[in-house]
A and B are shown apart, each in its own frame.
Chain A
Amino acid sequence: MRSKLLFALAALGCLAQPALAGPTEDLARTCNACHGVNGVSVGPSMPSIGGLPEAHLKNVMLQWKTDERYSATMGRHFKGYTEAELSALATYYAKMPWVPVVQKADDKVVAQGKGATERCETCHGATGGQPDDDETPRLNGQWAKYMEMELMKYRTESVKMPHKKMRGNAKKLADEDVPASAQFYAAQPK
């Protein structure tokens, strides 16, 4: 009897354990396939998303869902998510720590990138790690390849990109400054 009781108590304790997963965690687990565990990507063309500002994540995801912002792939994904799910995912990823993947680059290229990104400072901070507000993404230690491709999007007039100021500034960059700017931010630890 005594052992049976202990066993039953153990079973009760079990019930009291917190849930191992919730609906947002279940959804987020599927994002890992492309964006890495905790939103830290290991593939240069795929952005890290863990620790990006909440409003930024939410804006971009909702804009993709409604085709207000051009995306090559993600719009087709997010049409299958509700607005509430996307908001919850934004909150979930924003709470994660930002883990910069610092990518070394040639000193000359980094210097060129630094020179070319002066106009970016107001919003993203001197090294991309101090965004001015919650709607602005961090750039320090983001993947260079990904940032270069985002700049390509902003510089392509005929695709829909909603941020006028960003588009204007991206278009002001000289061609050779595009990869240099991306590599400058990618090389910054903070």
Chain B
Amino acid sequence: MSFNRREFLKTLTSTTVVVPLYACAAPGGGKGGKARVVVVGGGFGGATAAKYLKMMDGSLDVTLVERNKTFVSCPLSNEVISGHGKFEDLQAGYDGLMKRGVNVVFDDATAVDPAGKAVKLKSGKTLKYDFLVLSPGIDFNYGGVAGYSEELANTTHPHAYKAGPQTLALKKQVESMQDGQVFVLSVPPGPFRCPPGPYERASQIASYFKHHGKGKCKILIADSNDSFSKKGLFEQAWKMHYPGMIEWVAGAAGGKVVKFDAKTNTASSDFNDFKGDVVNIIPPHHAGHIAKNTGLTNDKGWCTVDMLTMESTVHKDIFVVGDSTVHGDLPVYGAPKSAHMANTQAKVAVGNILAKINGTPSPEPFFVNTCYSIAEKDWGFSVVHIYRAKDGKLVYDQKAGGISPVTMADDTQLKLQRKLESEYCIGWFKNIMADAFA
């Protein structure tokens, strides 16, 4: 079918096609002509989304709602616990986003009304939106370990799995340990954020012990799972750098901690008691509360999204990015909950929001994840994932990606590889922080 411009106009005016007010927002266009995009959550996902929305279309009305004035990164927070990194380097403010024209509102988003397209804030304000990007991260299910609680986490037993004051509290506890004492680390059932995080934490704490005359200390990992991310790489590093210091107890071997007694510092599974001088319980996770309250979560507590666009499968015009989503076709858990995934998901969500606004086709989806871990000074490694659409589904490219080589032709090569990736980890961190906040 073809018709000329005159007929096209006629069609437009004689039908009930509703052109949204924001259609064709010209850069610097007048009030009311802008699409309103609200972003909830200013972590790696939300901050990146807010920045790229503004960067790719300056005329958009972008509001970011975030509780805290200063962001603290989870990536590289294990290095702060061990003393290899500085807490200050984990922090970023929101000035960079403000300079780009993002309205940053320091408030708590308490509810979303998907039908009325509005976000309610704790202060009583309501923000109307045309599109919502939800990046609420994770919240903890403290009930998953009987006897553990938010109160304990904030006082005597930090989980330190959201970076902040608890990171420094755990660091202090590690530093107070005497040679020969035992550190117990309890790992929740997957999926959890930063899949290699607990094992990097064990490595970093072992590094602290090793370099501070506490080489007889032991680290006991009580795991709810039967395998873990980069397992071969971590086990090799432990054997080389911390022989005999780290013991891993799989879920099948009775590692799944279900209760905790703070008085005796004992974490227990159905089969074993793990008594430690310091016990670090990482509670099970689910998507941030607001996602559940909005009805976006599945029966396991995670947000399901259209894998190719990041739009919620429950409510249209709501895009969910970051740790709160299940995404990708990797067995059981989907794509890893990493800062890099949140970054790449945010960019895909932004591309799709702009396509909706401009009435253009959805961009070809491309997702990439790079996740570095540092097990010891000059000893880093990574896992890479690339996801593309195939027959309408999102598929992990098996030809690409994967973990760093475990073995190489000789020791010199292996040392070079680990050294390079330990340095790339720091460079990655600086760039991904800037990509979100600068």
Judge if B13 is at the interface, Cβ distance under 8 Å. yes
Q: Is the CB of B363 within 8 A of A26?
A: yes
In the complex, A17 Cα to B434 Cα: how many Å?
Answer: 30
Contact A29 B347 (CB under 8 A): yes
A148 to B413, CA, bound (A): 16
A42 to B436, CA, bound (A): 13
Report B399-436 residues with CB < 8 Å from chain A CB.
399-402, 404, 409-410, 412-413, 416-417, 419-421, 423-424, 426-432, 434-435
Q: Which of B182-190, B203-211, B318-326, B380-388 contacts A (4 or more CB under 8 A)?
A: B380-388
Min CB–CB distance B344 → chain A (angstroms): 6
Contact with B along A58-84 (1 / 0, CB 8 A): 000000000000001100111111000
CA–CA, A164 to B411, complex, Å?
A: 23
Report the contact-size class of chain B (Cβ under 8 Å from the partner): 35 or more
Q: Indicate with 1 or 0, residue by residue over A29-47, a CB within 8 angstroms of chain B CB atoms.
A: 1101111110001111110
Binds B, one of A6-14, A109-117, A122-130: A6-14
Bound state CA distance, A80 and B399, in angstroms?
7
Contact of A43 (CB < 8 Å), options: B13, B343, B428:
B428
One of B151-159, B192-200, B308-316, B364-372 at the interface: B364-372
Find chain A residues with CB under 8 A from B340 CB.
33
| Cβ contact within 8 Å between B431 and A43 | yes
Q: Is the CB of B431 within 8 A of A46?
A: yes
Residue in B closest to A1 when the chains form the complex, CB atoms = B13
Q: Are B413 and A42 in contact (CB under 8 A)?
A: no
Q: Are A158 and B409 in contact (CB under 8 A)?
A: yes
CB neighbours (8 Å) of B368 from chain A are 30, 33, 77, 80
Nearest-CB residue, chain A, relative to B52: A29
Asked whether, in the complex, the Cβ of B384 is within 8 Å of the Cβ of A21, the reply is: no
Tell me if B23 is interfacial: C-beta within 8 Å of chain A. Answer: yes
User: Which of A4, A9, A34 has the most chain B CB within a 10 Å cutoff?
Assistant: A34
Contact B435 A15, beta carbon cutoff 8 Å: no
Q: Contact partner of A156 among B364, B413, B427, CB < 8 A? A: B413
Indicate which residue in A10, A20, A34 contacts B427 across the interface (CB closer than 8 Å). Answer: A34
Asked if A72 and B404 sit within 8 Å, CB to CB, the answer is yes
Listed stretches B140-148, B168-176, B222-230, B352-360; interface member:
B352-360
Instruction: Assess the A37–B435 pair: CB atoms within 8 A.
Output: yes
Which residues of chain A are near B261, meaning CB under 8 Å? none
Q: A1-B13, A36-B435 are in contact. Are A76 and B402 (CB under 8 A)?
A: yes
A158 touches B424 (CB 8 A): no
B397 located at the interface, meaning its Cβ lies under 8 Å from any Cβ of chain A in the complex = yes
B330 is an interface residue with CB less than 8 A from chain A: no
Interface membership of B56, Cβ < 8 A = yes
At the interface, yes or no: B105 with Cβ under 8 Å from chain A? no
Give CA–CA (A33, B434) in the complex, Å.
8
Residues of A within 8 A of B55 (CB): 37
The yes or no answer to B332 lying at the interface (CB within 8 A) is no
B179 proximal to A (CB < 8 A): no
Interface centre among A9, A23, A72, A143 (most CB of B within 10 A): A72
Evaluate contact between A145 and B409: CB separation under 8 angstroms: no
Q: Report the tally of A-B residue pairs with Cβ distances under 8 A.
A: 159
In this assembly, does A152 line the interface, its C-beta being within 8 Å of a C-beta of chain B? yes
- Cβ-closest chain B residue relative to A74: B384
B143 CB, nearest partner CB in chain A, Å: 36
Across the interface, which residues of B come within 8 angstroms of A20, CB to CB? 56-57, 354, 358, 360
Confirm or deny: A159 has a beta carbon within 8 angstroms of a beta carbon on chain B: yes
> In the complex, which residues of chain B have a beta carbon less than 8 angstroms from the beta carbon of A174?
none
Query: How many Å from the CB of A104 to the closest CB on chain B?
Result: 18
**Which of chain A's residues have a CB closer than 8 A to the CB of B400?**
76-81
Residues of A within 8 A of B9 (CB): 5, 8-9, 12
A149 at the interface (CB under 8 A from B): yes
Any B CB within 8 A of the CB of A153? yes
A27 contacts partner chain B, Cβ-Cβ < 8 Å: yes
Closest Cβ of chain B to A77, distance in Å, is 6
From A13, A30, A36, A152, B347 is in contact (CB under 8 Å) with: A30
Q: Which residues of the partner chain B approach A17 to less than 8 Å between Cβ atoms?
A: 24, 358
CB distance from B45 to the nearest CB of A (A): 12
Residues of chain B within 8 A (CB-CB) of A15 are: 359
User: Which residues on the B side are within 8 Å of A143 (C-beta)?
Assistant: 427
Q: Are B431 and A34 in contact (CB under 8 A)?
A: yes
Q: Which residues of A contact B5 (CB under 8 A)?
A: 12
Asked if residues B23 and A73 are in contact (CB atoms below 8 Å), the reply is no
CB distance from A66 to the nearest CB of B (A): 12
| Pairwise interchain contact A27-B366, C-beta atoms closer than 8 A | yes
A33, B420: Cβ atoms closer than 8 Å: no
Q: Is the CB of A4 within 8 A of B13?
A: yes
Collect the chain A residues with CB atoms within 8 Å of residue B344's CB.
30, 33
- How many angstroms from the CA of A159 to the CA of B329 in the assembled complex? 34
* A156 cross-chain contacts in B, Cβ below 8 A: 412-413, 416
Expressed in whole angstroms, the Cα–Cα distance for A181 and B354 within the complex equals 46
16 contacts between A and B (CB under 8 A): A14-B23, A20-B57, A27-B366, A30-B344, A33-B344, A33-B368, A34-B427, A34-B428, A34-B432, A46-B424, A72-B420, A72-B421, A79-B400, A145-B427, A153-B416, A153-B420
Known: A26-B366, A32-B435, A45-B424. 7 other contacts (CB 8 A): A7-B19, A9-B9, A36-B435, A42-B434, A72-B424, A73-B370, A158-B409
Enumerate the 5 nearest inter-chain pairs by beta-carbon distance, A residue then B residue, closest first.
A80-B400, A43-B427, A14-B24, A45-B427, A80-B386
